[in-house]
A and B are shown apart, each in its own frame.
Chain A
Amino acid sequence: MGNLSGKVALVTGGGRGIGRSTAIALAGAGADLAVCSRTQAELDEVAEQVKATGSDCFTGVVDVTDRAAVERFCAGLVDHYSRVDILVNNAGGGLERAVVAEADPDLWRRTVEVNLFGTFLFTRTLLEHISDGGKIINVSSGMGLKAGMQASAYNVAKAGVHIFTECLANELWPRRIDINNLVPGPVATSTFNRDDPSARTPTADILARFAEAPPAHFPEFERVKHPDEVGKLALWMALRPEGGPTGQTFSLARRPL
């Protein structure tokens, strides 16, 4: 595998799950990291793991839908590192889980804001500081390519992320910035397990719960994977040479989308 030493990577929603695995994978390849999430205790753990690889770690507590907080965090990041080479828009989640007829309009809107507006906001705020030849990786979902039920806000938001990635690819190639979607497929995260925030289930327990079969709304040939598998794909995407793919989707799903 190649090398990211001298590069600066930001992972949003990097406190746990796919974001944390991605941050540690990028740090393991030599990148210095910036990580934000809503939970200080999780950020402290990630920072410790990143620093254990010998990389620097800049952290901040941020709600990705809060414009002032995002701008403050990004200003601090630019102050600290002066630029970003790799932006991983990972923060996301499904908050509204009712059918449309029963959906809470505020939760529906917040789901779109977290997944889509947050991705836009970090990209918009940092774009002038992203190095020419840099990479943007938007963590999307198979649900952005295929409708389900009881998750319309998440479906719509992730579909929006897909087209946003394509719009950006069309706009950013003159700066040699490549932007692609990453579709993880089902992953053993606290979000996937629908944990109550007060009691997060360990990854191993989630993997054990779905070792025989994925949840019923997935076909039997899907596999619930470890977040580190997604971190590895994100690292591979970050390591593509300049002039590599842009505006594309890289998926670990096992069902046609």
Chain B
Amino acid sequence: MAEGSLARQVAVVTGAGRGVGRAMARLFAAEGADVAICARTATQLEPVAEELRAGGTKVVSQTVDITEWEQVQAFANEVAAQLGPVNVLINNAAAGADLDNIADSDAPAWAKTAITNVIGPYFVSRGFIPHLKDGARIVNFGSGNGHVPVARRSAYGVGRAGLSMLTKCMALELWERGIEVNEFIPGPTATVMLPWAMHLDDEDEIARQFADRPSPENPSERAKTPMEAAEHVLWMVTRPPGGPTGQLYSLMRRPV
């Protein structure tokens, strides 16, 4: 069998218990990487870890709330100790879009959403940067909501806008180590984050009803499968050295 495109590499995926995070963990493992995964919900994360181990992949799996610095730091140190220097870091974990006006919002919940979407990825990056191999790749998951204002999604939009800026700052600071940092916007994807499937929490059911079908909100958009988004990220992290950094790669079907 041909060697995978991530053979002998270590890849970290946050929010890997479901959705695009789980698809990336599966794809990176299939491409030969050792994989470190985290999520808040052990009942979602553990089956993913078991599945990957059953396939022969070396896995570090830990329940982490990325808004808790000590937990993130402990995870990063554990990954480095068990798997060695990290080649690929994917900041995928996010908190779902809020659905309230600012005027009606629950202030602590609003803050938690914004924090999860920008401070969380900062903590993860801060924890892992000392353990990154020179030439490593970082992909930060963004959103159209981080670039275009949307009513009743202010906390999510503010968080993702902040992450977009963090991406560019990290690119400016990490290039000397050959580390390339880019933002990725998957556009609508058939996961629990799909805005028109918020009433459902079963991803198989969401995929059955919505994958590859147009958006009821914006008919040019189409809900992608998680694996289609994951394959794009694999392409991004396997570009030759000296490639794009500080850039935005988007699968949206509307101008950002």
Contacts and interface: CB of A to CB of B under 8 A. Distances in A.
Interface string A50-82: 000000000000000000000000000000000
A40 interface: no
A166 interface: yes
Contact of B256 (A223, A248, A252, A257): A248
Contacts of B247: 183, 251-253, 256-257
Contacts of B246: 253-257
Most buried by B among A183, A185, A247: A247
A36 B23 CA distance: 43
A243 B252 CA distance: 9
A139 interface: no
B250 A248 contact: yes
B168 A252 contact: no
24 contacts: A166-B255, A183-B247, A185-B244, A221-B172, A221-B175, A243-B253, A244-B251, A245-B253, A246-B220, A246-B253, A247-B252, A247-B254, A248-B249, A248-B255, A249-B248, A249-B250, A251-B244, A251-B248, A252-B243, A252-B244, A254-B180, A256-B171, A256-B172, A257-B246
Contacts, number: 74
A251 B219 CA distance: 26
A247 B253 contact: yes
A247 B172 contact: no
A248 B252 contact: yes
Interface string B161-192: 00000001001100110001000000100000
Contacts of B245: 221, 254
Contacts of A248: 249-252, 255-256
The B interface is mostly helix, strand or loop, or mixed, namely loop
Interface residues of B, number: 27
Contacts of B243: 252, 254
User: Which 10 residue pairs are nearest across A and B when measured between Cβ atoms?
Assistant: A166-B255, A256-B168, A247-B255, A173-B220, A256-B246, A221-B175, A251-B247, A248-B250, A245-B251, A254-B245
Contacts of A247: 252-256
B250 A245 contact: yes
Contacts of A178: 253
A3 interface: no
Contacts of B255: 165-166, 169-170, 247-248
Interface residues of A, number: 27
Interface in B226-256: 235, 242-256
B222 interface: yes
Interface of B: 168, 171-172, 175-176, 180, 187, 212, 219-220, 222, 235, 242-256
Contacts of A223: 242
A3 to B, nearest CB: 17
Contacts of A169: 220, 253-255
B8 to A, nearest CB: 23
A91 to B, nearest CB: 23
Nearest to B212: A243
B163 to A, nearest CB: 13
Interface of A: 165-166, 169-170, 173, 178, 183, 185, 221, 223, 225, 236, 243-257
Contacts of A173: 219-220, 253
A256 B173 CA distance: 12
A256 B170 CA distance: 10
Contacts of B172: 221, 256
B189 to A, nearest CB: 13
Most buried by B among A165, A223, A236, A243: A243
A205 to B, nearest CB: 19
Given A170-B220, A236-B235, A248-B256, 18 more contacts: A169-B254, A170-B254, A170-B255, A243-B212, A244-B251, A247-B253, A247-B255, A248-B250, A248-B252, A249-B248, A253-B244, A253-B247, A254-B175, A254-B242, A256-B171, A256-B172, A257-B246, A257-B247
Nearest to B240: A229
Contacts of A246: 220, 252-254
B222 A243 contact: yes
A178 B255 CA distance: 11
Most buried by B among A166, A173, A255, A256: A256
Most buried by A among B187, B235, B245, B255: B255
Contacts of A243: 212, 222, 253
Contacts of B171: 254, 256
A2 to B, nearest CB: 12
Contacts of A183: 247
Contacts of A256: 168, 171-172, 246-247
Contacts of B252: 245-248
